[in-house]
Amino acid sequence: MPLILHIPKVDPPLRSALLSAAAVATVALCYDERVAEGGPWHDEFRAWADDRIRKVARRARGAHWVAAQEVDGVTVEVGGAQARALVPGPVDELDPRIKRLQVGGTDLDHDDPGPPEPDVPVLWVNSSLEMTVGKAAAQVGHASMLLGMAMSKAQLAQWAAAGFACSVRDATAAQWAQLERSVGSGRGVAVRDAGFTEVAAGSMTVIAVPTEVRRRRWTWR
């Protein structure tokens, strides 16, 4: 699944907002009605979901960002930051308008967005891994997708009604240790990387904590 990050040269977005947009765009595409059986994106999405799931983030600006809107997918804006998740497909069939976009070369400084929003899931990023914004975008995309899969139909419907809103935050070492315990007790969803780029295989990159866990009322389906 290609993820396109809008990173203009002038007034680039905040890193945390861009990662939130990437996470929301990913899960929004996964549950878009066009992905459902009989929809125009169903076959491509199912082939991807049934195989080894990978996401690659690319950056775009100006005319290239405009062109990316013409490729099937879902664009999300969070706090002025924009990201687009595209319908997945084979790498060798990637649209030329997307293939020309760079995978790396631009990063964003870490920002301090303050405490997470109180009533949305939080995707905690393992800051000790020092992932680039592109790598982190793919990882939070994995996290939002896995979180949706872990929800009951009622919980997922409620999240969808809220536009799949979520907060992305960097976890301190102390927070990460506590989050790892939450995964062990079934109160969080962890993303473990395959190790193709940047981080070692098996690294825990993101831990997603649903709203109800933060209220101590979450139960897995």
Is 50 exceeded by the pLDDT of residue 79? yes
Residues 4, 58: Cα–Cα separation, whole Å? 5
| Residues 74 and 24 placed together within one structural domain of the fold | yes
The CATH number given to whatever domain includes residue 205 is 3.40.1490.10
Range from 58-72, 110-124, 194-208 carrying the lowest mean pLDDT: 194-208
Place of tokens 């400084």: 109
| Residues 84 and 141 placed together within one structural domain of the fold | no
| Predicted TM-score (pTM) of this structure | 0.92
Q: Are 71 and 86 in contact (CB under 8 A)?
A: yes
Residues 69, 75: Cα–Cα separation, whole Å? 8
Please compute the mean of the pLDDT values over residues 108-126 and round it to a whole number: 93
For residue 77, give the 3-state DSSP assignment: strand
Distances in Å between the Cα of 175 and the Cα atoms of 124, 128, 142, 182 are 9, 12, 20, 11
> How confident is the model over 30-39, as pLDDT tens digits?
999 999 999 9
Is 80 exceeded by the pLDDT of residue 52? no
| Residues 129 and 201 placed together within one structural domain of the fold | yes
Q: Are 200 and 192 in contact (CB under 8 A)?
A: no
Residues 35, 18: Cα–Cα separation, whole Å? 24
Domain containing 209: what range? 122-214
Please compute the mean of the pLDDT values over residues 167-194 and round it to a whole number: 90
What's residue 158's pLDDT?
Answer: 92
Residue 111 maps to a domain = no
Q: What is the DSSP string of 96-125?
A: HHHHTS-SSS---------SPPTTS-EEEE
Nearest to 164 by CA among 214, 108, 117: 117
pLDDT-derived band at 200 (thresholds 50, 70, 90) equals confident
What's residue 221's pLDDT?
Answer: 38
Nearest to 86 by CA among 104, 97, 74: 74
Residues 144, 29: Cα–Cα separation, whole Å? 11
Kind plus residue range of the DSSP H or E element containing 148: helix 133-150
Residue 89 maps to a domain = yes
Q: What percent of the chain has pLDDT over 70?
A: 95
Handedness of CA 73, 1, 93, 77 (dihedral sign): positive
> How confident is the model over 91-110, as pLDDT tens digits?
889 999 999 999 877 789 99
Is 60 exceeded by the pLDDT of residue 215? no
Residue 9 maps to a domain = yes
Q: What percent of the chain has pLDDT over 90?
A: 76
| Residues 95 and 18 placed together within one structural domain of the fold | yes
| Residues 200 and 127 placed together within one structural domain of the fold | yes
Place of tokens 């139909």: 153
| Residues 153 and 200 placed together within one structural domain of the fold | yes
Residue 106 maps to a domain = no
